[in-house]
Amino acid sequence: MPLVITLFASASLVGFVAALGTGMFGAWLIPALPNHQTLGTVAALLACSMHCAVFTYFLGTGMSIKDAVETYDLDPALAEETRTLKKRSFPWVFNAILLLLGAVVLGGFAMTRGLPPIVHGLGAGFAVVFSLFAFYKELQAIRDNVKLLETLKKNLTAKAASAEWPMPSEADISRVDQGRALVFLGFTVAFAFVYLKYITRTPETPLTPFALASVLAVSLGSMILRTEGRSR
C-alpha cells in the first residue's frame, strides 16, 4: 500500500506541473498535451485518490491491529498507538482533499462565471503546496505505522511460541483497503461528472460512462467489504 500511495503522489505531481504550465502560458506552449482543464482535473483526482488511499490504509491496519490486540490479549498500548497515528494523519488527509476540490471548483468558476483567473491560480497553488506537505506528514505516519506492524508481528510470534498455539495468519488488510479505495473511487468519478457537467458547463459530457464506472466501483468495493465482514 505505501508503494501505491507513492505512485499516486508522483503521478499527481507530474499532472500538477503540466497543468501549471498550460495554465500560466497557455496550451500553445506545449501543444502535444491536453488542455489545462483536463490536466488540472486529472491531477486533482489523482491527488485526492492518493489521500483517500492513506485514509483507507490507516483504517484497514488500525482495525487489524485492534482485532489482534483484543483476540490475542496483547499490550493495549499497540491499539492506542494506532489511534494516535490516525489522529496525526487524518486532518492532513481531509484538509488536503477539501483544498484540492476547492481549487477545481474555482477553476470551473473562472472558466464559466467570470471569476478572476488569479483567484483560481492562487487557490490552486496553495492547494498543491498544502497537498505535498500533507503527503510528507502522511508518509511519516505511514513509516511509524509500518514499525508498529512489525512490533505487532513480533509480539504475536512470541505469544504463539509461549502458548504453543499456531501463529495466526496475517489479516488480509490489502483486500479491505482495496474495497474502501474502490468505494472512494466511485464517489470521485461521480464528482468528476458533476464538475464537468454543471460547474464548467460542458453539456456534451456523457452520463453513461461516468455512471457505469461509479456504480461498478462502489458495487465492487461494497462487495469486498461485505465479504471481509467489514462495514463502511
Q: 125-159: per-residue pLDDT in tens? A: 999 999 999 999 998 999 999 899 889 888 888 77
Q: What is the pLDDT of residues 81-122, one digit of tens each?
A: 989 999 999 999 999 989 998 998 888 888 877 788 889 889
Q: What is the pLDDT of residue 123?
A: 92
29-72 pLDDT tens trace: 555 445 777 778 878 888 887 888 888 888 888 888 888 888 88
Max mean pLDDT range (10-14, 85-89, 178-182): 85-89
Find the DSSP H helices in the chain: 2-25, 36-72, 76-112, 117-163, 173-194, 207-227
- CA-CA distances (angstroms) from residue 176 to 75, 171, 179, 219? 24, 9, 5, 14
Other CB atoms within 10 A of residue 77 CB = 10
The arithmetic mean of pLDDT across residues 187-213, rounded, is 73
> How far apart (Å, rounded) are the C-alpha atoms in residues 91 and 151?
26
Instruction: Please compute, for residue 72, the number of CA atoms within 13 A of its CA located in the half-sphere on the CB side.
Output: 28
What is residue 78's three-state secondary structure? Answer: helix
- pLDDT at residue 208, as a whole number: 79
Cβ contact 62:50 at 8 Å: no
pLDDT at 231 over 50: no
